[in-house]
Structure 1
């Protein structure tokens, strides 16, 4: 799903909101996440997952075309770790109401 599809689906599910308002909400959410990550903060959405920034150390890489060694500078990359509820949902293993996820009942 791309951003425009997300906006369209949210607009359809919330007919009381204007399309432009949903677009502003989604853009603001993404902008806030990006701003927090650029400040080195962690963003956690309970049940969904957590965004953080990981540091990759400088290293020696290789140019695949020439085979020549080239220095690769240190960089920071975004990282996403899924939450437990999302992992369970993806694997069709939602826990029962009693907290037991055995299917032997």
Structure 2
């Protein structure tokens, strides 16, 4: 399912227009992105899951072209951990 299909299904279930649904989805994704990116805080949607920032430690890697060993710096990465209701729905 892509974003357009998701918006159509959500609009139908909620009984609102696709434009309203698109605006709500954009507000949600913008809020999650801002909270993770600027503040580094978790976003918990009870039952659905948790969006969070995880730190990846500095490590040694290998350049696939040259075989040269390189140091990959520490970096932050967005992560999602599924909640109980989502896990049960997938079973």
TM-score scaled to structure 2, two decimals?
A: 0.88
Q: Which residue of structure 1 aligns with residue 20 of structure 2? A: 21
Choose between structure 1 and 2 for higher RCO, CA contacts under 8 A separated by at least 6 residues.
2
Greater Rg over alpha carbons, structure: 1
2:27 matched to 1:32? Answer: no
Mapping for residues 53-92 of structure 1, pairs under 5 Å: 53-91=53-91
Structure 2 gaps of 5+ residues are none
Number of equivalences? 90
Structure 2 CA distance for aligned equivalents of residues 42 and 69 of structure 1: 34
Return the alpha-carbon distance in structure 2 between the equivalents of residues 2 and 33 of structure 1. Answer: 19
Q: Which runs of 5+ in 1 are unaligned?
A: 92-105
SS at match of 2:4: helix
SS in 2 for 1:71: strand
**Partner Cα distance (1:27, 1:20) in 2:** 10
Over aligned residue pairs, what C-alpha RMSD do you find?
A: 1.3
- Residues 9-68 of structure 1, C-alpha deviations (whole Å, 9 max, x = no match): 1122233x2221111100000110111111110011111111111001222210112111
Structure number with the higher helix fraction is 2
TM-score (norm 1): 0.77
Shift, 1:90, TM fit: 1.5
| Helix, strand or coil at the partner of 1:55 | strand
Go from structure 1 to structure 2 and tell me whether the alpha carbon gap of 1:13 and 1:85 turns closer, same or farther (over 3 Å shift): closer
Distance 1:31 1:2 in 2: 18
